[in-house]
Structure 1
Amino acid sequence: MADDENDRYRAPALDKGLDILELLAAVDGGLTQAEIAKRLERSPNEFYRMLDRLVKRGYVTRIDGDRFTLTLKLFGLAQLHAPVRRLASFAIPLMRELAEASRQANQLVVFDRGNPVVIAQQEAPGYWGISIRVGSRISLFDTGSGHVLLAFRTPEERQMMIAEYLGSGGDESKVTAEFLGRLDQIRSRGYEMMPSAQTAGVINLSAPVLGADGKAIAALTVPYITLINTPAAPDISSTIHLLAETTGRLSEMAGSGFQSES
């Protein structure tokens, strides 16, 4: 009787789509349409339209011509839910400490459906500082946050993130060998330091918040400005050290706390 009750509201097309997503999430390198059908014990023709819709909606992409793999869209949707709110709740007290110690503003950024998005912002404690609105969608290519989010991901994930960003209107001409080499350098030294592409005189200092798997789940950025007549303000080297300490503490929390609940 219980099985009959469970089957009463079956949605075969939805079940088929979810079967595909769950299967692709469990494999590396993608699968062909025939391989998907074989693993799900169905006819290949049953999956043609479903795969076409999943590709058009951005949940699945083609690689190597005939193979299908998941994009990061599901990851992006998950970022909008409780894990992001928990990340922000853990981060805000530490961001406040960082602002007080550095005398600079800072912001926390995650990748969401093609763009880095600011999920938390801490104002500088003094008169001057650079701030950005929570919810702002920023550049993946022209910001320290974007560089860090790309640098601390696998090459395959980088490609998917870049593809999603280009699909939302990003400038493909900026994806050069030099740019990709810079990402490797950022990963090697552990942070990004670059002049702001938006505001003259600002140096963006960005470092990753790492999950238990060593991948960036967020970037913490200090838009550093040189403060005149503020003797207690740390210099840029000291600020980088403070930033690294803060992201290190957040990464420890991510590895043992909120991320496991996502």
Structure 2
Amino acid sequence: MSEIAEKNFQVPNLTRGLQILEYLRHCDEPVSMSALARELDYPLNSVMRIMKALDHYGYVQRAVGSKSYEMSDKLMHLARSQASQKNLFEASMGAMRQIRDHVGETVVLSIVSEGEGLILEQVQGLHAFRFVCEPGTRQMIHSSASTKAILAFRKEHEVDELLQRIDYPKLTEQTILSAEAMKRELEQVREQGYALDRAEALEGVNCVAVPIMDSSREARAAITVTGPANRLKLDQLDEVGEMMKVVCSQVSENLGYL
């Protein structure tokens, strides 16, 4: 790339922010903003604005009893999360295909993120008319089989706090409408080992979800099969759930669950 073209793609404050992080990464002790400006030959006002943003988003932190800054461990956690997510994908894909081949319907891998369900991946069903659940799709906590499956096997006090914070809009006649009803539902999920969505988010759509556990002995994700109620019928959901528990147990074992 030519020097002119390279300059056209640069964002000055972003470049400075990244270079500040690189500098701090090699420092054994916290560094003041004036020292950063001097060492990197940046205007002090620019350094102050950048450090305020980095501090706000948790990438740097002030040293105790000082006005100097050091790297936080956020980047390390992000790197670990990325590696952890890759392991989750690798462990889950075979089970998802196996479930899809057995049931014929679309199967998705989901997590709970920022108070919502989040679809990470899908294996599309075998029917000509099938559900497509694009990665990145968000799901409401109170109406999704996957979020129920995950929350049922998370720390109780954290789940209680979340259930008190979220809203409960009515999506269908079957939608759960209160924290108390959700708690009762999660207790049933813990007893049977799988969660159901009986047309609670969309009319005519049923889902079954099984938690994916890891070495923390908490649910890290969920694998869900979703299909139209005329194919994935209410009287079949428990049978599908039991089958999925067997298949998904291997995924949990591969992630360190004992």
The TM-score range, normalised by the shorter chain, is 0.5 to 0.7
Contact persistence 1:102–1:242 (CA under 8 A): no
Contact persistence 2:207–2:227 (CA under 8 A): yes
Structure 2 CA distance, aligned partners of 1:91 and 1:123? 14
Matched, 1:185 2:166: no
Structure 2 residue corresponding to 1:213, chosen from 212, 216, 224: 216
Measure how far apart 1:84 and its partner are: 1.3
Structure 2 CA distance, aligned partners of 1:185 and 1:123? 28
Structure 2 CA distance, aligned partners of 1:183 and 1:243? 18
Contact persistence 2:217–2:257 (CA under 8 A): no
| Mapping 1:232-243, distance limit 5 Å | 235-243=236-244
Alignment partner, residue 37 of structure 2: none
Matched, 1:202 2:205: yes
Alignment partner, residue 40 of structure 2: none
Alignment partner, residue 62 of structure 1: none
Structure 1 CA distance, aligned partners of 2:101 and 2:87? 22
SS class of match (2:196): strand
Structure 2 gaps of 5+ residues are: 1-25, 34-50, 67-73, 170-176
Measure how far apart 1:243 and its partner are: 1.3
Alignment partner, residue 171 of structure 1: 167
So what's the TM-score if we normalise by structure 2? 0.62
Structure 2 CA distance, aligned partners of 1:171 and 1:237? 28
SS class of match (1:255): coil
| Mapping 1:99-138, distance limit 5 Å | 99-138=100-139
Taking only aligned residues, the RMSD between alpha carbons, in angstroms, comes to 4.0
CA displacement 1:38-61 (0-9 Å, x = unmatched): xx9x77xx8xxxxxxxxxxxxxxx
Structure 1 CA distance, aligned partners of 2:181 and 2:113? 25
SS class of match (1:204): strand
So what's the TM-score if we normalise by structure 1? 0.62
Contact persistence 2:196–2:209 (CA under 8 A): yes
Q: What is the one-letter code of the residue matched to 1:131?
A: V
SS class of match (1:117): strand
Alignment partner, residue 31 of structure 2: 10
Taking only the aligned residue pairs, the percentage that are identical comes to: 21
Structure 1 CA distance, aligned partners of 2:190 and 2:163? 17
Q: What is the one-letter code of the residue matched to 2:85?
A: V
Contact persistence 2:143–2:197 (CA under 8 A): no
Structure 1 gaps of 5+ residues are: 21-39, 47-72, 229-233, 258-262
CA displacement 1:121-156 (0-9 Å, x = unmatched): 111122232221111111111111111121111212
Alignment partner, residue 147 of structure 1: 148
Q: What is the one-letter code of the residue matched to 2:89?
A: A
Matched, 1:82 2:103: no
Q: What is the one-letter code of the residue matched to 2:194?
A: Y
Structure 1 CA distance, aligned partners of 2:85 and 2:189? 24
Alignment partner, residue 28 of structure 1: none
